[in-house]
């Protein structure tokens, strides 16, 4: 059992929990994830580790309420426990030798994962620009945290209700056109957003790392459920990733495969609504 | 002994559920012997001097001795006899390919059917469990030495059980939420009920084995860190769980998965039971590619999940099928359709990227290859399309590089299997390995045999050090 020591709602649909998991906290590095299972009847769900406290023995997870399991998770409070937590899984983010300037891009709840990246890279002394995008003002998260670890923070909303109006790709395009040089761009967020970030950087020849989010079951490389096509080859995101060279990823296939269980997921949510 | 032998040429039949009824539910197919049936079958054993059956058993169960106890009606004593060498009898009685092992060597098999050793072992284990009997366990005094076991599958559990009995303090590190390995995620409920697996594991815990779930060794702790934290030896029984795909066009379509994923969702995660949250792909027509036990398990599971048509697509002929005879027989009875001498060349999809067909080519058997099996050769212009919406790949698995890749000094061969000597010692001092991690995908009982051999070696080395 793994106890929740702190819980906070970051907005209506995004929840942060800090969980006691000393062995994972001791080992985990940015880019890695865990698999959790709430209870005996629960499914195994992957979440990237958003932060960690090696001395305090805790890890922080930030998730969006997107379906039945995350809804149940969001109902737990500090003091409650979850049944299973396995990790750290996947390989930590690796930057090319000699990287000096980085642009970290977060979309929506992906900002929860982009933030520890930015913080980590900033602490290593790199020049870090961050571009974070949200649908609207109400769901902006971690703004102050990003500001504290960014050389330049660009915040945008789809509807212009806060920050610049538009998508993260608009800001990125502008920066690159103005001659801004980044050694690496790291993009974390919804699949379409990562796809378009890669399309934006490709003509400029900027190395782009994406953190993929395929469906997973075990997270240890024994089922291939999370397989993605990278550079024409099958890769398992749980052991070879979740980070990959974005210019090599088949995003359309990933989007399709992520819809495999759409019907069952919807039925599950409908069922819960009827019960309530 | 009751004096006279039962000279009937055939085994006492074991009651089974009706194929039509069972093909739609996950309840166990074979229902086991009654005490009367068990005693009747037990008297078929001739108690021959040579005991070839014992030499055919990878863990050396004293077969004629336990069968004599069954014949005498002393079922609990029979249980104790089996447990002297076998930690998981209820499992082995159900899933061992007895025709190639103990029963394959039985003298009675020369004229008629061999003694039903597997069914008798199963009966004894079930009888003991149903009567709450956990066995006479002779455990040595604790010797103060600690052994870490990586992987809670059949190899690891056997090694753990034997070492605990010898007085070692044993910890099993399991990556999943529950120990059992392939017994939990792979072999389906209708062949091996999960409560039975967990009860056998409970008896190991009762014998002092500590099991730590959710521990992915190679990630949360390395093998070196285990050694540094005070374990005197490590046994690696991490299996061969990395599924292979064919590298044919269309494997990225929605509706293609590995048998490991399909079976894990159904078995470990109870995906067939609506009380559990894990979804399973819903299919009308399924092609399972492969001819081993895993392929049979996936095909029979797909029927039970509601598929109207389930095909086994296998590139050789039925005679070459590696699956257990009984499983092939059961699959046919339940309505699985066999497409033998047939090989997939492409998976076809619709405009939404979902599977809508499997393009195959007919094969014929050519000259024997280096393994002695006749090599299948494609017949030109014989392509045809199987009308399916799901394709399950069951063409084998390889050892996961998670541990070999994070442990210095641990040699692997070109298939990624750990290299060991006859004592199951790896190339790293005090580190032993066995089971599928060493051999590649094989059987439960061979893994158990390896775990047993490793336990003996570890004991010899650690006692020598004392």
Residue B138: its pLDDT value, please? 75
Q: pLDDT digit string (tens) for B248-263?
A: 999 999 999 999 999 9
Work out the pLDDT band at A269, boundaries 50, 70, 90: low
B245-393 CATH:
3.50.50.60
**Which contiguous run of DSSP H or E holds residue A89?**
strand A84-89
| Coil vs helix vs strand at A220 | coil
Give the chain B residue nearest A264 (alpha carbons).
Answer: B279
Residue B369: its pLDDT value, please? 80
Work out the pLDDT band at A276, boundaries 50, 70, 90: very low
**Is the Cβ of A218 closer than 8 Å to some Cβ of chain B?**
yes
Give the chain B residue nearest A37 (alpha carbons).
Answer: B177
Residue B465: its pLDDT value, please? 53
**Is the Cβ of A27 closer than 8 Å to some Cβ of chain B?**
yes
Residue B312: its pLDDT value, please? 98
Q: Do A44 and B269 touch (CB under 8 A)?
A: yes
Residue A97 half-sphere exposure, CB side, CA atoms within 13 Å?
0
Q: Which of B173, B180, B198, B216 to mutate to test the interface with A (most CBs of A within 10 A)?
A: B216
CB B210 within 8 A of CB A12: no
Q: Do B269 and A260 touch (CB under 8 A)?
A: no
Residue B373: its pLDDT value, please? 77
As given in the structure block, the two tokens for residue A125 are: 């002394």
Q: pLDDT digit string (tens) for A194-232?
A: 999 999 999 999 999 999 999 999 999 999 999 999 999
B146-241+397-462 CATH:
3.50.50.60
User: Pick from A106, A259, A70, A101: which is nearest to A187 by CA?
Assistant: A106
Strands A81-82 and A58-64, sheet pairing? unpaired
Q: Do A260 and B220 touch (CB under 8 A)?
A: no
Interface of B with A in 209-228 (CB under 8 A): 213-216, 219-221
Residue B466: its pLDDT value, please? 45
Q: Where, residue-wise, is CATH 1.10.1060.10 in chain B?
A: 19-130
What is the pTM assigned to this prediction? 0.93
| Coil vs helix vs strand at A155 | strand
Rounded to the nearest angstrom, the minimum Cα separation between A10 and chain B is: 26
Tens-digit pLDDT string for chain B (466 aa): 445 788 999 999 999 999 988 998 999 999 999 999 999 999 999 999 999 999 999 999 999 999 999 999 999 999 999 998 898 899 999 999 898 899 999 999 999 999 999 999 999 999 999 999 888 777 888 999 999 999 999 999 999 999 999 999 999 999 999 999 999 999 999 999 999 999 889 989 988 999 999 999 999 999 999 999 999 999 999 999 899 999 999 999 999 999 999 999 999 999 999 899 999 999 999 999 999 999 999 999 999 999 999 999 999 999 989 898 889 999 999 999 999 999 999 999 999 999 999 999 999 998 888 777 788 999 999 999 999 999 999 999 999 888 888 888 999 999 899 999 999 999 999 999 999 999 998 889 999 999 999 999 999 999 985 4
Q: Do A224 and B257 touch (CB under 8 A)?
A: yes
Which residues, 6 or more positions from B394, have their beta carbon under 8 angstroms from its beta carbon? B258, B259, B288, B289, B290, B292, B294, B295, B298
Q: Which of B277, B353, B406, B416 to mutate to test the interface with A (most CBs of A within 10 A)?
A: B277
Strands A58-64 and A14-20, sheet pairing? antiparallel
CB A208 within 8 A of CB B256: no
Work out the pLDDT band at A263, boundaries 50, 70, 90: confident
Q: Do B277 and A41 touch (CB under 8 A)?
A: yes
| Coil vs helix vs strand at A237 | helix
Say whether pLDDT at A274 is over 50. Answer: no
The percentage of chain A sitting over the pLDDT mark of 90, rounded to a whole number, equals 89
Give the chain B residue nearest A258 (alpha carbons).
Answer: B254
CB B160 within 8 A of CB B212: no
CB B450 within 8 A of CB B424: yes
Q: Which residues of A touch B275 (CB under 8 A)?
A: 41
Which residues, 6 or more positions from A34, have their beta carbon under 8 angstroms from its beta carbon? A21, A24, A28, A46, A47, A49, A59, A61, A85, A86, A87, A88, A89
Q: Which residues of B touch A253 (CB under 8 A)?
A: 252, 353
Residue A275: its pLDDT value, please? 42
Q: Give the Å distances, CA to CA, from A230 to A188, A217, B250, B252, B396.
A: 17, 20, 15, 11, 23
Say whether pLDDT at A18 is over 70. Answer: yes
Q: Any idea which fold B19-130 has?
A: Fumarate Reductase Iron-sulfur Protein; Chain B, domain 2 (1.10.1060)
Q: Where, residue-wise, is CATH 3.50.50.60 in chain B?
A: 146-241+397-462, 245-393
Q: Do B254 and A257 touch (CB under 8 A)?
A: yes
Rounded to the nearest angstrom, the minimum Cα separation between B261 and chain A is: 4
Which residues, 6 or more positions from B386, have their beta carbon under 8 angstroms from its beta carbon? B285, B287, B311, B313, B339, B357, B358, B359, B360
Residue B135: its pLDDT value, please? 80
Would the CA dihedral through B92, B94, B97, B99 be positive or negative?
positive
Would the CA dihedral through B347, B351, B356, B362 be positive or negative?
negative
Q: Which residues of A touch B175 (CB under 8 A)?
A: 86, 218, 220
List the beta strands (DSSP E) in B136-283. 146-150, 169-173, 210-212, 233-236, 242-243, 256-258
Q: pLDDT digit string (tens) for B432-453?
A: 999 999 999 888 999 999 999 9
Verify cis geometry, omega within 30 degrees of 0, for the bond prior to A242: yes
User: Pick from B190, B185, B183: which is nearest to B24 by CA?
Assistant: B190
How many Å apart are CA B164 and CA A150, to the nearest integer? 55
**Looking at this predicted complex, what is its ipTM?**
0.92
């Amino acid at each position: 059992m793994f106890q929740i020591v702190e819980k906070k709602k970051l907005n209506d649909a995004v929840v942060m929990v800090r969980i006691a998991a000393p062995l994972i906290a001791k080992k985990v590095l940015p880019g890695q994830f865990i698999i959790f299972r709430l209870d005996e009847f629960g499914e195994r769900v992957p979440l990237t580790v958003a932060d960690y406290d090696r001395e305090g023995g805790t890890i922080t997870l930030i998730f969006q309420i997107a379906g039945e399991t995350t809804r149940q998770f969001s109902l737990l409070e500090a003091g409650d426990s979850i049944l299973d937590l396995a990790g750290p899984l996947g390989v930590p983010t690796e930057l090319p030798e000699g990287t000096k300037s980085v642009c970290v891009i977060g979309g929506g709840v992906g900002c929860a994962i982009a933030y520890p990246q930015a913080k980590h890279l900033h602490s290593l002394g790199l020049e870090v620009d961050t571009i974070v995008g949200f649908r609207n003002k109400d769901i902006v998260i971690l703004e102050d945290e990003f500001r504290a670890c960014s050389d330049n923070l660009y915040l945008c909303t789809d509807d212009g209700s806060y920050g610049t109006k538009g998508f993260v790709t608009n800001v990125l395009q502008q920066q690159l056109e103005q001659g801004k040089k980044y050694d690496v761009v790291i993009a974390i967020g919804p699949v379409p957003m990562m796809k378009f970030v890669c399309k934006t950087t490709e003509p400029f020849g900027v190395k782009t790392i994406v953190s993929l989010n395929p469906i997973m079951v075990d997270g240890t490389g024994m089922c291939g459920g999370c397989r993605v096509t990278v550079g024409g080859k099958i890769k398992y995101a749980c052991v070879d990733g979740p980070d990959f060279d974005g210019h090599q990823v088949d995003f359309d296939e990933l989007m399709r495969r992520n819809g495999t269980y759409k019907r069952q997921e919807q039925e599950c949510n409908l069922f819960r609504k009827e019960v309530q | 002994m009751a004096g006279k032998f039962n000279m009937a040429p055939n085994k006492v039949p074991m009651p089974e559920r009706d194929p039509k009824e069972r093909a739609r539910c996950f309840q166990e197919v074979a229902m086991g012997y009654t005490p009367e049936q068990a005693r009747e079958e037990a008297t078929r054993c001739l108690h021959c001097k040579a005991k070839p059956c014992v030499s055919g058993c990878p863990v050396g169960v004293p077969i004629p001795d336990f069968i004599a106890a069954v014949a005498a009606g002393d079922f609990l004593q029979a249980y104790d006899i089996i447990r002297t060498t076998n930690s998981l009898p209820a499992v082995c009685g159900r899933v061992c390919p007895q025709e190639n092992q103990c029963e394959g060597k039985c003298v009675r098999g020369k004229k008629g059917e061999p003694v039903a050793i597997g069914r008798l072992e199963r009966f004894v284990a079930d009888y003991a469990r149903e009567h709450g009997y956990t066995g006479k366990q002779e455990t040595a005094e604790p010797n103060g030495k600690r052994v870490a076991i990586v992987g809670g599958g059949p190899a690891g559990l056997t090694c753990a059980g034997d070492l605990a009995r010898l007085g070692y303090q044993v910890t099993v590190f399991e990556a999943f939420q529950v120990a059992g390995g392939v017994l939990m995620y792979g072999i389906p409920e209708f062949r091996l009920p999960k409560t039975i697996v967990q009860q056998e594991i409970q008896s190991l815990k009762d014998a002092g084995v500590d099991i730590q779930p959710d521990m992915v060794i190679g990630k949360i702790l390395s093998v070196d860190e285990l050694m540094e934290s005070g374990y005197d030896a490590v046994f690696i029984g991490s299996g061969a769980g990395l599924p292979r795909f064919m590298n044919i066009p269309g494997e990225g379509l929605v509706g293609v998965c590995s048998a490991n994923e399909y079976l894990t969702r159904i078995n470990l995660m109870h995906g067939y039971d609506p009380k559990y949250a894990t979804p399973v792909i819903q299919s009308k027509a399924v092609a399972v590619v492969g001819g081993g036990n895993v392929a049979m398990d996936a095909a029979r599971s797909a029927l039970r999940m509601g598929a109207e048509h389930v095909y086994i697509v296998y590139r050789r002929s039925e005679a070459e099928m590696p699956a257990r005879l009984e499983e092939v027989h059961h699959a046919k009875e339940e309505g699985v359709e066999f497409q033998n001498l047939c090989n997939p060349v492409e998976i076809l999809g619709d405009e939404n990227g979902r599977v809508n067909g499997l393009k195959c080519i007919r094969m014929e058997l050519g000259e024997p290859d280096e393994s002695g099996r006749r090599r299948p050769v494609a017949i030109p212009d014989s392509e045809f399309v199987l009308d399916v919406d799901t394709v399950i790949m069951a063409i084998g698995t390889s050892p996961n590089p998670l541990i070999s890749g994070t442990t210095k000094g641990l040699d692997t061969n070109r298939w990624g299997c750990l290299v060991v000597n006859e004592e199951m010692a790896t190339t790293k001092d005090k580190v032993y390995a066995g089971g599928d991690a060493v051999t590649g995908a094989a059987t439960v009982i061979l893994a158990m045999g390896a775990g047993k051999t490793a336990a003996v070696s570890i004991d010899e080395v650690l006692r020598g050090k004392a």
